[in-house]
Amino acid sequence: MTFDIAQFHADAVSTPSHEDVTEMRELLVETLEDAGLEPEIDDFGNVLAARGGSGGREPDGPHIVLNTHIDTVAPHVPYERDGDAVRGRGACDAKGPLAALLAAFLRVEPTEGTVTLAITPDEETLMTGAAGLQETLAPAADGFIVGEPTDRDVCIAARGQCEGTITITGESGHAASVPAERNAVFGLESVLEALGTYDGEAGPGVDSVLGAPKLTPSMLEGGEAPNRVPEQCRLTFDRRSVPPETSESFRADLQSYLETRLDDDLEVAVDLIRPDTPFPKPFVTDENAQLVRTLAAETAGEVRPFGAATEAGFFATDVPTVVFGPGVLADDEGAVAHAEREYVHLSAIETAAESVTATLEKLVG
């Protein structure tokens, strides 16, 4: 089979996958089957296919995994091509990287190891697919290349991300009667001040690769009438973490920190949003790892951290992991990924595919 990278990318971007990935998954499975492979869909909805070796089930040379996702954010933006530029939802995040990884996967002929393609269904939402791969595939792998729009830079680190709420509880009643020290809205002043000082006084510190963590209040909720004090008010936050912090360790540490800074007449509770689902984890891969050095030698890009949360942190716990792909998160005009103007250059997809192909040839045959 001759894989037409531009046609596959066009078909992928034209296939909506912001609400349901079924049609997009079928496109990927059919493409693999047309290439003579037998892909499978695991219990987490991941599409898996392997070439060479024994599919990572037994030791048989290096085992490299190519991973990205098929879901996109809403709304769907139709496919549009203008010469080398392709616009549309998922053009760069992450159907451009998918096309590049798929091309490399189909081109390489492993003789000394295994290459596995592992494509997840829910990176933009729950990340249960990646968490499943962490359990089932990562322990048997020697390296992961995770496809995201990095402008073909080799990204060896990324901050983790979680979201949560801070609920302040006081006394409800008429605005003329509730004392200030029992007013939950007044408690916001102490909470916001504490959020500004948390990392300097209680956070994990500055990571040598990723820099500092970031804690951002983003939404406020509370009150029903201008002359009534609400019993509760709630603040929503976004957390970008660095190692060794986890979402749960951060929640517990922030809870303790706020309790020491809020008036005793008020109560405070820190809760994670969707605590029963996995959160993207922070990670740093050694820049001297063989996978990093090999891929970096095949591309003209930098070795640097990635600027957004990614599934890569699930795999980096076990093996060297890099984030790599065509396209950019943002350019001089503003946001690209997730934006109405999302685009990628087909020449960048092809160049990325060549870099990954050359890397795999050096690592597995």
The answer to whether residue 226 sits within a structural domain is yes
Name the residue with higher pLDDT: 264 or 346.
346
Three-class SS state of 159:
coil
The rounded distance, in Å, linking the Cα atoms of 215 and 197 is: 10
Do 224 and 80 fall into the same domain? no
What's the whole-number mean pLDDT along residues 157-180?
A: 95
pLDDT value at position 276?
76
Phi, psi of 58 (to 5 degrees): -135, 155
Asked whether the beta carbons of 309 and 155 are under 8 A apart, the reply is no
CB atoms within 10 A of CB 269: 14
pLDDT value at position 151?
97
| pLDDT tens digits along 272-320 | 998 777 888 999 999 999 999 999 999 988 999 999 999 999 999 889 9
The answer to whether residue 228 sits within a structural domain is yes
pLDDT value at position 274?
84
Provide the strand spans (E) within the chain.
40-41, 47-51, 63-69, 80-82, 85-87, 114-120, 143-147, 154-158, 160-169, 173-174, 214-222, 228-229, 232-241, 267-272, 283-284, 303-305, 321-324, 330-331, 334-335, 343-345
Three-class SS state of 112:
coil
| pLDDT tens digits along 187-240 | 999 999 999 999 999 999 999 999 999 999 999 999 999 999 999 999 999 999
Q: Is the dihedral of CA 12, 15, 18, 21 positive or negative?
A: negative
Concatenated DSSP letters of 305-338: E-SS--THHHHHTTS-EEEE-SS-SEETTEE-TT
Q: β-pairing, 40-41 with 80-82? A: unpaired
Do 209 and 340 fall into the same domain? no
Confidence check: pLDDT of 56 > 70: no
Confidence check: pLDDT of 98 > 70: yes
Do 84 and 216 fall into the same domain? no
Nearest residue to 27 via CA among 17, 188, 36, 18: 17
Asked whether the beta carbons of 337 and 149 are under 8 A apart, the reply is yes
Confidence check: pLDDT of 47 > 70: yes
The rounded distance, in Å, linking the Cα atoms of 89 and 337 is: 8
Share in percent of the chain as helix, strand, coil (round to 5): 30, 25, 45
Per the DSSP assignment, residues forming a β-bridge with 236 are 165, 219
Do 172 and 305 fall into the same domain? no
Phi, psi of 245 (to 5 degrees): -65, 140
Mean pLDDT, rounded, of the chain: 95
CB burial class (10 A; 0-12, 13-18, 19+) of residue 260? Answer: exposed
Q: How many domains does the chain have?
A: 2
Do 138 and 18 fall into the same domain? yes
Do 152 and 175 fall into the same domain? no
pLDDT value at position 55?
47
Nearest residue to 355 via CA among 289, 298, 300, 291: 298
Residue 328: which CATH number? Answer: 3.40.630.10
Last residue of a domain, one of 253, 272, 291: 272
The helix (run of H) or strand (run of E) holding residue 29 is helix 22-34
pLDDT band at residue 253 using 50, 70 and 90 as cut-offs: very high
Nearest residue to 150 via CA among 359, 332, 277, 324: 324
Concatenated DSSP letters of 217-251: EEEEEE-SSTTEE-SEEEEEEEEEE-TT--HHHHH
Tokens in use for 217?
Answer: 């209040």
The helix (run of H) or strand (run of E) holding residue 25 is helix 22-34
The residue segments making up the domain with residue 251 are 160-272
Last residue of a domain, one of 216, 250, 272: 272
95-107 vs 5-14: helix axis angle to the nearest 10? 140
Do 23 and 150 fall into the same domain? yes
Asked whether the beta carbons of 283 and 297 are under 8 A apart, the reply is no
The answer to whether residue 232 sits within a structural domain is yes
Nearest residue to 104 via CA among 130, 68, 152, 66: 66
Do 101 and 240 fall into the same domain? no
The rounded distance, in Å, linking the Cα atoms of 309 and 157 is: 10
pLDDT value at position 2?
83
The rounded distance, in Å, linking the Cα atoms of 267 and 189 is: 14
Last residue of a domain, one of 238, 272, 306: 272
Candidate from 16-30, 164-178, 275-289, 333-347 with smallest mean pLDDT: 275-289
pLDDT band at residue 54 using 50, 70 and 90 as cut-offs: low
What's the whole-number mean pLDDT along residues 248-269?
A: 95
Do 129 and 221 fall into the same domain? no
pTM above 0.85, yes or no: yes
Confidence check: pLDDT of 102 > 60: yes
| pLDDT tens digits along 179-194 | 999 999 999 999 999 9
The answer to whether residue 277 sits within a structural domain is no
